[in-house]
Amino acid sequence: MSWLSDSWREFKARGDKLLLALCVILSLCGVVLVYSASRYTGSTRSVLVQLIGLAMGVFAYVLLSSVDFELFIQKSWKWLFPFCVVFILTTLSPWGVEVGGNRSWLQIPHFPTTIQPAEVVKVFFILLLALQFSRLRERGISRITSVVFTAGHTLFLCAVIAVASSDFGMALIYCLIYVVVAWAAGVKLRWFVLAFAIIGIAAWLLWPYLSSDVHFQRVTVVIDHITGNPDTIYEQTQGRGWQQSRSILAIGSGGLTGMGYLNGTQTQSPYKTSLPARMDDEIFAVCGEEFGLVGCVVLLVLEFAIIARCVWVARRASSYYSALVAMGMAGMLSAQVCVNVGMCLYVFPVVGITLPFVSAGGTSLITMFAAMGAVSSVKTRTLPSWLRDRSQL
């Protein structure tokens, strides 16, 4: 067990303790909200899973803080990418479990909780993407071959996720991570403009043919809600928009300071339909109802403090690769926070994305701590100020 003691000593000496403290505080806020959201079930299993996930996450954070990911990825990238693909495809096996129309989870026999492969693969994806950009740097990041190669890697994984589990929300997060890493790597603005133009034209051309698709209807119901289309008011409140209409009602009823802990009308209702997915997708609405605007602001400040810390570490990284890893983790958190809060505020379609460190889910919590452990690893290898090249980001 000498490796464990060595990891602990290195973390105590150079690990990012501030980042760990922020993650633990936010996770404890999540435990408090999960307890309230799961109280109507009469079971404390979700809270227990969250606490175990928190303990395992802290362990993973400390352990990974001592790992040299740049050296690791250079030696393992050849087998790591096939592993990611195969791991995602395991959801098609008999162990795959379908929840809410997405076959995104694995229920391994005798294992106490489910595992979401695409959630775990996100961390490896960022490590591999950073390696690709660092190797393409000398050839030119904005050359068409470089952009096609890195974007192709991202789209391939998104296609695998879509085919294996129909989890388009997770595929969207992968795309947003790519956008952040590509921007940080130095890809020129014209490529982003071109990509968004292609997406816009494709959406306009395919619009008439997608109207019957359930995922597309989640988009249209949000557009109708924002524009106030009176012809679809039933669908906005009772149909596809039911979950979000309950969410925004809960947030609005909380007012400035909320109804009080364990006193939220919808949160404490024994009916699952009162506030659907209140422990995961809609946990932000639970915070809004019981702690009001003040509680929501505190939650978001903690989230963005973690993101800001990741960016701070990236700007002081010892190498181009390490900086992209830290920025990739910041991009992952930013994307999930914006999408999840957008869902709860009825300005973004329901795509099943959790709020980092807060929503119920052992896999999500451990993965987030592991990702932040990678950022801490970057921080432990930061160069002194007189050796830094501040122009790299």
> What pLDDT is attached to residue 390?
45
Sign of the CA dihedral running 316, 322, 327, 332: negative
Find out whether 164 and 93 touch, Cβ atoms under 8 Å.
no
Residue 6 inside a domain? The answer is: no
Q: Give the residue from 187, 188, 185 showing the smallest Cα distance to 321.
A: 185
- The model carries a pTM of 0.92
User: What's the distance, Cα to Cα, between the start and end of the chain in Å?
Assistant: 38
In a domain, 372, yes or no: yes
Q: What are the pLDDT digits (tens) for 287-329?
A: 999 999 999 999 999 999 999 999 999 998 989 999 999 999 9
Residue 256 belongs to some domain of the structure = yes
pLDDT in tens, 369-384: 999 999 999 998 765 5
* 134 lies in some domain: yes
Helices (H), the chain: 2-14, 17-38, 45-64, 69-89, 117-136, 144-165, 168-185, 189-206, 214-227, 233-237, 242-254, 283-315, 320-344, 362-380
pLDDT per residue over 179-219, tens digit each?
999 999 999 999 999 989 988 888 778 777 666 666 777 88
Total of domains in the chain: 1
What pLDDT is recorded for position 391? 41
Is residue 2 domain-resident?
no
Residue in 327, 300, 301 with CA at minimum distance from that of residue 312: 327
Calpha distance 55→74 (Å, rounded)? 30
Asked if residue 8 belongs to a domain, the reply is no
Q: How confident is the model at residue 1 (pLDDT cuts 50, 70, 90)?
A: low
The answer to whether the CB of 353 falls within 8 A of the CB of 339 is yes
How high is the pLDDT of residue 356? 95
Confidence of residue 51 (pLDDT cuts 50, 70, 90): very high
The reply to whether 126 falls in a domain is yes
Domain around 331? 14-380
What's the rounded mean pLDDT across residues 88-107?
Answer: 83
Residue 3 domain-assigned (yes or no): no
What is the rounded average pLDDT of the residues 161-168? 87
Once rounded to an integer, what is the mean pLDDT over residues 346-354? 90
